[in-house]
Amino acid sequence: MLTDKKIPIVSFVGFSGSGKTTLMTKVILAFKQKGFRVATIKHDAHRFEIDHQGKDTWKYSQAGSDVVIINSLEKVAMVEHLQKPVSFSELVAKINNVDIIFVEGYKHESPEKILLVRREEDLELLNELGNVIAIASSLPLHNCAYTTFDIDNEKGIVEMIQSKYLGESQL
């Protein structure tokens, strides 16, 4: 049962190509199968486009609408042209009615992180990151001060996250 308590946030961080999207997708699927409601935030350093040229919502945006919302029986989407960037905390504040928020990126803003490591030099990120709760890697990491998982052990990662933040499944 959802309550008014703060929604836990876990971010998957690492360099481009480290496997963040692949691992997060597996983790999301596992949490959904356990009956949890999940939100996802993806940080994109580039200019993404979800409003495709020629579609009605694109036409409204091109006409000057600052906010365009499209709604159907199954989903809703909003495109807002920004005057200034939206902060991580402002994004999180827009999310409700979920049990957990998974984030790809926001390595400096997100509160708790799982660092994905594909190369030894990726471990240098530990010098600039705070609140790393685990490392997922394809490398053998010996004598590591962090909880470590094989990058393909999504089951172990899911169990760690669930135990730390959510307890038993709602089913």
What is the structure's pLDDT at 164?
94
> Cβ–Cβ contacts within 10 Å for residue 14, how many?
24
What is the structure's pLDDT at 46?
63
Question: Taking a C-beta distance cutoff of 8 angstroms, is the pair 162, 35 a contact?
Answer: no
Mean pLDDT per 10-residue section of the chain, whose length is 171 residues: 74 92 96 95 73 84 85 85 88 93 90 94 91 94 90 96 82 48
What is the structure's pLDDT at 154?
96
Question: Taking a C-beta distance cutoff of 8 angstroms, is the pair 45, 13 a contact?
Answer: no
What is the structure's pLDDT at 45?
66
What is d(CA 152, CA 78) in angstroms, rounded to the nearest whole number?
34
What is the structure's pLDDT at 138?
92
CATH class assigned to 9-48+83-166: alpha beta
Question: What pTM value is reported for the model?
Answer: 0.85
Strands 76-80 and 67-71: antiparallel
What is the structure's pLDDT at 1?
43
The domains of the chain are located at 9-48+83-166
What is the structure's pLDDT at 2?
47
What is d(CA 131, CA 128) in angstroms, rounded to the nearest whole number?
10
* Token output for 38: 């999940």
What is d(CA 44, CA 132) in angstroms, rounded to the nearest whole number?
21
Chain centre to alpha carbon of residue 164: 17
- What number of helices (H) and strands (E) belong to the chain? 4, 8
